[in-house]
Amino acid sequence: MLTEVESRSTDGSKTWPAFLGLTFDKPRDKTRLIKSVHNGPLYVQKLFYPEGLEHAHVYLLHPPGGIVSGDHLKISIDVGENAGVFLTTPGASRIYKARKDISVQRLVFDLKIGANALVEWFPLETIVFSGACSRISTKINLSEGSCFAGWDICSLGMPASFSGFDLGSFEQKYVLQKDGMPVYVDRLELCEHEKSLISKSAGLQGFIVSGFLLLGPFVSSTESTISKMREIDFIANSPHLTSISRVGNFLIGRYLGNSAEHAKKIFVNWWKLARPILMQREFCEPRIWLT
């Protein structure tokens, strides 16, 4: 049963914190959800197995859809040894300013991956509306023999409406660790009164949508895989920048442009090439993306 948890922002209005804690295990030949704890509007309904019992597809649900001033969402996921999990969301996350004060919206995602486990974390895009003050933190911890694939796509404003991110602040930190030691850190910070990073050539170069795809660790050479990724014929007549590089044993794909949908299509094409090599599994698109 869903339990509503409320608190108060600095102006006395109600906020809506939420927590979701999931634990997965694979005692035999099936990945199972053995523990689920939630407060507020965050939960999962059931697991799907479109590609076999060993690899579960899980949809993280947040019925309100929008995250407003003062809200705090935390998701903590523990994937046990040898388990396989594909995690996604049914829709984009929208971050708004809804109060007169500057209450911060916080989203925290903490993922622990056990030995020899395979985990994919592909949330749909985060749309940050002008005036929002948001802090997003993602931390992933790998164990021996485990593999991870994930992306992060962020739209600062609404490109289709030609609205940018003129007011507010945004801070995003994405950390990948191996046995507690950082192996990849990505951070973007836009201050309340200084957003020149959006237009600078060393920043977002005037684009509204940015994203990256993180894959690894690979145990063999990835040069041929990188070459094939770069040869893919991407969306024509759409201004954007893409790149693929190797950092240690990980592949990092990046996108700068004005379309979250284009970013997703490019990342999916890359992942179709890399998944059989990294996880020995063909790409299986979740049904929820087709609705």
Domain that holds residue 154: 7-207
Q: Does a structural domain hold residue 99?
A: yes
Total number of domains constituting the chain: 1
Say yes or no to pLDDT of 104 above 90. no
Least confident span in 22-26, 31-35, 90-94: 90-94
The whole-model pTM stands at 0.90
Share of the chain above pLDDT 70, in %: 88
Say yes or no to pLDDT of 264 above 70. yes
Say yes or no to pLDDT of 135 above 90. yes
Residue 215, strand partner residues: 149, 251
| Choice between 228 and 232, residue whose per-residue pLDDT is larger | 228
Q: Does a structural domain hold residue 237?
A: no
Separation between Cα atoms, residue 112 and residue 125, nearest integer Å: 22
Share of the chain above pLDDT 90, in %: 58
Q: Does a structural domain hold residue 286?
A: no
**pLDDT tens string 167-195:** 788 899 999 998 888 999 999 888 766 66
Q: Does a structural domain hold residue 242?
A: no
**pLDDT tens string 189-230:** 887 666 667 777 777 888 889 999 999 999 888 899 999 998
Q: Does a structural domain hold residue 184?
A: yes
Which residue in 129, 138, 140 sits closest to 85, CA to CA?
A: 140
> Token pair of 231, please?
């040869």
Q: Does a structural domain hold residue 177?
A: yes
Separation between Cα atoms, residue 100 and residue 122, nearest integer Å: 33
**Average pLDDT of the chain?**
87
Q: Does a structural domain hold residue 32?
A: yes
Q: Does a structural domain hold residue 164?
A: yes
